[in-house]
Structures are given as structure tokens and as C-alpha cells.
């Protein structure tokens, strides 16, 4: 169902055929997460950034529904660890991102930042960069093929590229308990 390829540098590509595959990845990352960790999520509209955070939150025992923080900018959830779920989509970068104060509270939980590339240069020195791409077939239907399901039901294949930036993630990515490594 899923496979991964890991390089010596600590980068890793994981293919999820459907949401069950994404869940395997969410569980693997949740198993190595520590207080103070930061994950930047990158990917186009509809790539599945919020869906990943929903699954990750479930793995950490969050019971409140996790919804998109695009407008609210930062939402906080309580599970085994506190989750700060942020979204930089509306921000211009630079000082706007700094003013959110994400770094001031990061030590108190796990910070997941959608559209994290907007703040990449000004935020954290040490983080996991998770880039999501749709890897599905190109639809050519005249009518919308997607039934508009809630993201918790979307099943297109996706590629997750995991890149360790800074020291703390590289080691852990090698230890990550995912399925068979395939080149």
C-alpha cells in the first residue's frame, strides 16, 4: 500500500495510495514526536495538509475536531501533547509571521505550520519539512469528478517528501518505523 525511499541525508519520500496510507505516516511521525518539535507542511491547495494534521492529531489523542486554521491563524488542541496548528496562507511572511509568536510557545507542545514555506526563513532552525504532492492520474472529465467529499474521505494517491532541517530530525527519520524501504 505504501512505500518509502530514504536517502543518506535523512530525506525520505513516502507514497500513500489513500488515506489509510497517510494514516500510517501520521502514526510513524507521531511515534517519534517530542515536545518542542516543529513540522512545516507544504503543498498546493487541496494537497492534504489539513488532512494530515487531522490524522496526526488523532494519533496524539486529540478528540476535538481539527479544522483548517487559515483564518484563525493558530488553533490549539489538547492531546497527549499540546498541538499548535498554524497556517501562514494569509500572511505575507517576515514580520507578520514573527508577530504570530509561534516560537514563544513552541517549547510547550508540537507546532504544525501549514504553508510553512512562507515563514521558513524567519522561524525555526530545526524542523521537519513535509511536502505533499498529489500523485494521482490526470482527470480529463468535463464535469468535476470529485464528489466534494470531506477531506477525511479523500482517497487520491499522494507523495510525502520528508526533509530533516537541523540536527534533531535527521536521526529520527532514519529510525522511523515505516514499512519496507524500497528504492
Partner 1 sequence: MSDLVLGIETSCDETAAAIVGEGSKLVSSVVSSQVDIHAEFGGVVPELAGRAHVQLIVPVVEKALGDAGLDTTKPSIGSIACTIGPGLVGSLLVGVSAAKAMAYAWGVPFIGVNHLEAHLYASFLADPELEFPMMVLLVSGGHTMLIHAKSHGDYVLVGQTLDDAAGEAFDKVARFIGLGYPGGPAIDKAAQLGDASLVRFPRPMIDSEGFEFSFSGLKTSVVAWARKHPDASAEDISACFQEAVVDVLVTKAIRAAREAGVSNLCIGGGVAANSALRAETERRCAEEGLRAFIPARAFCTDNAAMVAAAGWWRMQNDGPSVLSTGAIPNLRFP
Question: How far is it, in rounded angstroms, from Cα 96 to Cα 39?
Answer: 19
Question: How far is it, in rounded angstroms, from Cα 56 to Cα 67?
Answer: 13
Helices (H), the chain: 19-32, 49-59, 95-99, 102-105, 167-175
Tell me if 144 contacts partner 1 by CB under 8 A.
Answer: yes
Tell me if 151 contacts partner 1 by CB under 8 A.
Answer: yes
Q: Binding residue for partner 1 (CB under 8 A) from 1, 90, 125, 181?
A: 90
Tell me if 112 contacts partner 1 by CB under 8 A.
Answer: no
Q: Which three cell numbers stand for residue 138?
A: 490526470
Q: Binding residue for partner 1 (CB under 8 A) from 19, 40, 91, 112?
A: 91
Question: How far is it, in rounded angstroms, from Cα 14 to Cα 54?
Answer: 18
Q: Which is nearer to partner 1, 31 or 78 (CB)?
A: 78
| Residues in touch with partner 1 (CB under 8 A) | 45-46, 50-51, 54, 65, 67-77, 89-92, 95-96, 99-101, 139-140, 143-152, 154
Amino acid at each position: 500500500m505504501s512505500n518509502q525511499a530514504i536517502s543518506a541525508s535523512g530525506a525520505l519520500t513516502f507514497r500513500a495510495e489513500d488515506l489509510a496510507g497517510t494514516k500510517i505516516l501520521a502514526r510513524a511521525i507521531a511515534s517519534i514526536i517530542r515536545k518542542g518539535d516543529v513540522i512545516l507542511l507544504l503543498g498546493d491547495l487541496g494537497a492534504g495538509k489539513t488532512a494530515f494534521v487531522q490524522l496526526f492529531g488523532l494519533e496524539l489523542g486529540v478528540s476535538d475536531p481539527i479544522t483548517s486554521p487559515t483564518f484563525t491563524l493558530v488553533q490549539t488542541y489538547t492531546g497527549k501533547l499540546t498541538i499548535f496548528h498554524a497556517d501562514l496562507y494569509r500572511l505575507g511572511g517576515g514580520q507578520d509571521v514573527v508577530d504570530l509568536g509561534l516560537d514563544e510557545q513552541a517549547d510547550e507542545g508540537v507546532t504544525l505550520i501549514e504553508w510553512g514555506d512562507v515563514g521558513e526563513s524567519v522561524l525555526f532552525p530545526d524542523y521537519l519539512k513535509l511536502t505533499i504532492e498529489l500523485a494521482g492520474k490526470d482527470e480529463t472529465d468535463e464535469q468535476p469528478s470529485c464528489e466534494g467529499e470531506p477531506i477525511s474521505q479523500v482517497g487520491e494517491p499522494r507523495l510525502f517528501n520528508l526533509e530533516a532541517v537541523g540536527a534533531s530530525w535527521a536521526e529520527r527519520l532514519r529510525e522511523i518505523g515505516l514499512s519496507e524501504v524500497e528504492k
